[in-house]
Structure 1
Amino acid sequence: MSTFLGLPGAGAPELTVLYRGPLASCDYDCPYCPFAKRRDSPATLREDRAALERFCDWVAEQPAVSVLFTPWGEGLVRSWYRRAMVRLSLLPNVRRVAIQTNLSCRTGWLAEGDPASLALWVTYHPGQVAQDRLLTKCRELDALGVRYSVGVVGQPEHLAAAREFRAALRPEVYLWINAAEGRSYTDAEAADWTALDPLFGWSREPHPSEGRRCRTGSSVISVFGDGSVQRCHFVRAPLGNIYDGSYRAGLAERPCPLPVCDCHIGYVHLETLPLYEVFTDGVLERIPYGLDGISRPAAPAGR
């Protein structure tokens, strides 16, 4: 089993950082997203670029770190995110650098990075991009040897497109399905989505989290453009700042204070769930450990 991210057999766990800068603009217009077609001002873009470059300088000085970029908007249409992905992937102290993206950007720049550490968490948005266009991008990633997962929000109107997309992808590529926010699924509906993603059961309903052990705040942190640190994106209590080192005193194992956790980038780190065993060294890019790994442990059918 991999020793990535403090799994059994590892020494001191490396620090995993979920980074989100000021960027909030996106080139897509998804009706379920509050940031659809939002435009950032030139001043905000300059602020975001400077913040990202400063963050990358900080990463370069750390002993061991992995990074997942989780921008509100689309990062890879901005040259500074592409440069950051390449730069960090080439650093010897960076185990993994990944980003959530709609992959609307060109892909040739990825050849400059190290495919052993660079990975993409891609979302397919039916109605925003032609399926053939995104499939072409995925085939380009295959040719470049870039690790990626790709997925769909589980809206009823997306089911047919998701089935077609799954059939067209290489079998080795994991297609994940996110439960649509606020939606309850009947068992029959859940079965349709589970046929595409054997792990859909983990996304189907929020996970009870209050008082339960979570890696966030100890080996996993969220960092924002000014360097401020929270344990995760959803628990607002500050832990300090990376640039003055004050965050280190705030790192400690502590139970989750929220009643439930309903986002993958949060609940994947709950110690009461076996998802580190499922994803091993693919936690950040949401890639399970081999095709056999997506059935071990089995996802719940419902709760």
Structure 2
Amino acid sequence: MDKLSAKEAAKVIDTSFEAGIDFYDHADIYGGGNSEKVFAEALEMSSVSRDQLFLQSKCGIRKGFFDFSKEHILSSVDGILKRLKTDYLDTLLLHRPDTLMEPEETAEAFTQLKESGKVRYFGVSNQNPMQVELLQKYLKDDLIINQLQLSIVHTPMIDAGLNVNMQNNPAIVRDSSILEYSRLKEMTVQAWSPFQHGMIEGVFVGNSDYPEVNAKLQELADKKGVTDSAMAIAWILRHPANIQPVIGSMNPERIKDISKASGVELSREEWYGLYRAAGNELP
């Protein structure tokens, strides 16, 4: 959002709200903090009020290292709130695991933020079950969110569960069964980069390097009366884990089109058809 003017960003907020989208994901590193500043200016210009939105931000990534210290978390939140021009965050996530985390200290920061009214709920990003459990041990409230990379062409959290007891590459458990763990703990998985391939290497939708999955996306999109991007999101929404996609678009028309994904119904055959079209083989 930092690349938009406040007026353009206000249109994004209004269009999204009209389409039923009231959740915004930020991070203190996005645009060096400028993304949050532009959003705050835009919100003042929009027809939507702060209490109608669910605002989330993330902290913990610093230049060359990760930092879950109490001092850094508290300082980061103060900066986030100032830039967003709000008194509180609905959710704060820890952005990427910090192997030097001292969970008692991190928990103290969370408790202070909760008691001061600065943050309502807490979660993590890109963490495995044991990392979540380690922090959860010292917290009074449950961690409610884990933000993880997921798209039709990036499915390691799904692959391993479909290839149990196999010796092929998809059988490798890369994240300690985070999808099943999240469902057991009733943690919301937020899918980041739902249109990307690789480590934010580019968009796969409409990309000629991915002919089979794009052909299948378009086939189903035409059948359901939505765009191929909406179909890519519908595929994620079809999973019973109630995954929340973070679409990352700042284009009002594209946001309206993508929002139609919530009305798409996919059969098991259609869902697996897209999964296989992405190059995945079932055992």
Q: Which has the higher strand share?
A: 1
The structure showing larger relative contact order (alpha-carbon pairs under 8 Å, at least 6 residues apart) is 1
Q: Which has the higher helix share?
A: 2
TM over 0.5, yes or no? no
TM-score class normalised by the smaller sequence = 0.3 to 0.5
TM-score, scaled to structure 1: 0.41
Which structure has the bigger radius of gyration?
Answer: 2
